[in-house]
Amino acid sequence: MVEVMRSLGHARFALAGHDRGGAVALRLALDHPDAVSRVALIDCLPLTEHLSRITAEFATQWWHWFFFAQPDVPERVINADPDSWYRGDPQRMGQENYDEWRAATRNPDVVRAMLEDYRAGLTIDRRHEEDDRAAGTQIQCPALILWSLRDDLEDLYGDPLKIWRQWAPDVRGHGIDSGHHVAEEAPEALVSSLAGFFAGRPE
């Protein structure tokens, strides 16, 4: 991603990531502090923070993380009936977004790529985060933390800002009145928050 941005003429850039994209944004900000001027992390925590807080409630709600990380079996189960696994809502997502999303979830190569992300999360991604914590590596740029108030991040862990402050010295953020698909469900609130942060305006 850094090479792509450099090829487009951006040696330093602001970055936003939602959910799994937040994990990518975290890794990029930690590995390339000179490239990232500001980072927004939406509906996510570092993976190791999730794993260190596993409760019966988390395991019940997020069992799919561990199922998806298994070899081969998830592909067979999911591809047999993808609509049973990936239940989107065209009313909430918008028809065009929903159609693109549904086509992707019916493509076995896309399904495998999504599962490989979970497999990496519990192996190499987890190890990288553990190494960062042991070394005291932190996000060096300002970080905006946003979360959907009608999702479960706050319910499971309390104030996400308290957790993120262990990973970055300059953290601010707030919840947004939305379900998990915040870009589709609350685009104005999300854009306003991101635009203000990337422009350097105070919270």
- What pLDDT sits at residue 39? 98
- What pLDDT sits at residue 201? 84
The CATH classification of domain 2-198, taken from the options 3.90.228.20, 3.40.190.10, 2.60.40.10, 3.40.50.1820: 3.40.50.1820
Encode 60-94: b = buried (16+ Cβ within 10 Å), e = exposed: eeeeebeebbeeeebeeebeeebeeeeebeeeebb
Distance between CA atoms of residues 2 and 10, nearest Å = 9
**In the structure encoding, which two tokens stand for residue 87, read together?**
């239940």
Catalytic residue, candidates 19, 117, 152, 159: 19
Distance between CA atoms of residues 35 and 202, nearest Å = 22
Q: Closest Cα to residue 52, out of 151, 129, 141, 144?
A: 129
**pLDDT exceeds cutoff 80 at 4:** yes
| Percent of all residues in the chain with a pLDDT value above 70, rounded to a whole number | 100
- What pLDDT sits at residue 88? 85
Q: In what order do the strands lie in the sheet with 13-18?
A: 13-18, 36-42, 143-148, 171-176
Mean of pLDDT values over 23-27: 97
- What pLDDT sits at residue 99? 95
Catalytic residue, candidates 117, 159, 174, 180: 180
- What pLDDT sits at residue 132? 97
Is 159 known to be catalytic?
Answer: no
Q: What angle do CA 171, 161, 142 make, to 5 degrees?
A: 15
Encode pLDDT of 173-189 as tens digits.
999 999 998 998 999 99
Encode pLDDT of 63-113 as tens digits.
999 999 999 999 999 999 998 998 888 987 889 999 999 999 999 999 999
87 or 147: whose pLDDT is higher? 147
Which 3 state secondary structure label does DSSP give 142?
A: coil
- What pLDDT sits at residue 202? 77
- What pLDDT sits at residue 52? 94
For the chain, give the mean pLDDT. 95
Q: Enumerate the β-bridge partners of residue 143.
A: 39, 171
**pLDDT exceeds cutoff 80 at 169:** yes
Reported pTM: 0.89
Is 19 known to be catalytic?
Answer: yes
